[in-house]
Amino acid sequence: MEVKIEEQAGFCFGVISAINLVEKELENTDKIYCLGDIVHNNMEVDRLANLGLEVVDLERMKELKDTKIVIRAHGEPPSTYELAKKNGLEVIDATCPIVLRLQENVRKAYQEIQKTGGKIIIFGKKGHAEVVGLVGQTNGEACVISNLEDLDNLDCSIPLHIFSQTTMNAGEYKNICKEIEIRLERLCNSGKNQLIITDSICRKVSSRTSQLIEFADTVDMILFVSGKHSSNGMYLYSLCKKHKERTYFISSKDDIKKEWFENCNSVGISGATSTPMWLMEEIAQYVSK
């Protein structure tokens, strides 16, 4: 039976460089702290915990003094940096450069739109670390929209500038922007002039959709490897499942069932942007036996 791993699957460069940074730090020290899981994958989090990385939440961070804390690829709002400074914490900043640039753009757009009485909108998941970091660039004033229903609470009579969380679905973002335009036009004929749309979805994420579908077409069955809490993983899995019925969601080799392999000559292994390559390789080896 042929077993192959999708070449583009696995960590994005933002997560790879965050993990490299952590591993390098842990070569010289026994323990460092990380604000939140460095990646939405329990097995990778456990591997790094064994090397000395302890995950803390914001409440626990408030108690830390004079130690090192990692800010992960999702980024953080300015208040987190202020807290670190107050507590004498050394920040190991692993914010992805794409997220950093987006934070800067949101900050500048906020300063501009304030002059006109307008509002910044973030299309993203409420409470997601990246979204919290982006809202923090606007003094907490940006409005977070997660779906079309949320638009009912949006004041469309003022100038608006919309950004997207980097990992959102491009099609859904397009629909949201279109709907805002329709509502603006209903209120005033020059609706489009009232809305600025910034395309801030990460290309690494948006290009995964078509790559995965193409890969799925080359095999009989897909084993999709992801943590259950990865939104990117759940999205890519359901997309692949719709396209190829014989797609199975697994978090480790223990989830694999023998009956899936009946009349199967080729297996493709893929995963989310938070799935480590070592885990997919381990599964490929297990399936090949």
Kindly give the pairing relationship between strand 90-93 and strand 143-145: unpaired
The nearer residue to ligand SF4, 23 or 155, going by C-beta atoms, is 23
Using rule CB under 6 A, residue 122 touches ligand SF4:
no
From the list 18, 23, 15, the residue with the least C-alpha distance to 47 is 23
Using rule CB under 6 A, residue 13 touches ligand SF4:
yes
Using rule CB under 6 A, residue 106 touches ligand SF4:
no
The single residue of 27, 130, 245, 259 carrying the catalytic annotation is 130
Q: How far is the CB of 80 from ligand SF4 (least distance, A)?
A: 17
> How many residues of this chain bind ligand SF4 (CB under 6 A)?
14
From the list 104, 101, 138, 100, the residue with the least C-alpha distance to 122 is 138
**For residue 274, what are its two tokens?**
């938070």
Using rule CB under 6 A, residue 129 touches ligand SF4:
no
Q: Which positions from 146 to 185 touch ligand SF4 by CB under 6 A, shown as an x/- string?
A: --------------------xx------------------
From CA 42, how far away is CA 229, in angstroms rounded? 9
Q: Which residues contact 249 (CB under 8 A, 6 or more apart)?
A: 224, 226, 237, 241, 255
CA dihedral 280, 281, 284, 285 (to 10 degrees): -140
Is 130 noted as a catalytic residue in this protein? yes
Q: How far is the CB of 101 from ligand SF4 (least distance, A)?
A: 9
Q: Which of 119, 128, 161, 204 binds ligand SF4 (CB under 6 A)?
A: 204
From CA 24, how far away is CA 162, in angstroms rounded? 37
Q: Which positions from 50 to 79 touch ligand SF4 by CB under 6 A, shown as an x/- string?
A: -----------------------x------
Q: Which of 15, 22, 38, 284 binds ligand SF4 (CB under 6 A)?
A: 15
Minimal CB distance to ligand SF4: which residue?
14
Read off φ and ψ for residue 271, nearest 5 degrees.
-165, 180
Read off φ and ψ for residue 35, nearest 5 degrees.
-80, 95
Q: How far is the CB of 131 from ligand SF4 (least distance, A)?
A: 12
- Residues 18, 75 contacting (CB under 8 angstroms): no
Using rule CB under 6 A, residue 99 touches ligand SF4:
yes
From CA 216, how far away is CA 222, in angstroms rounded? 7
Q: Which of 5, 12, 89, 131 binds ligand SF4 (CB under 6 A)?
A: 12
From the list 95, 112, 69, 134, the residue with the least C-alpha distance to 17 is 95
Instruction: Count CA atoms closer than 13 A to 15's CA, side-chain side.
Output: 21
Q: Give, as ranges, the residues between 247 and 276 that touch ligand SF4 (CB under 6 A).
A: 273
Residues that bind ligand SF4 (CB under 6 A): 12-15, 73, 96, 98-99, 166-167, 202, 204-205, 273
Q: Which residues carry out catalysis?
A: 130
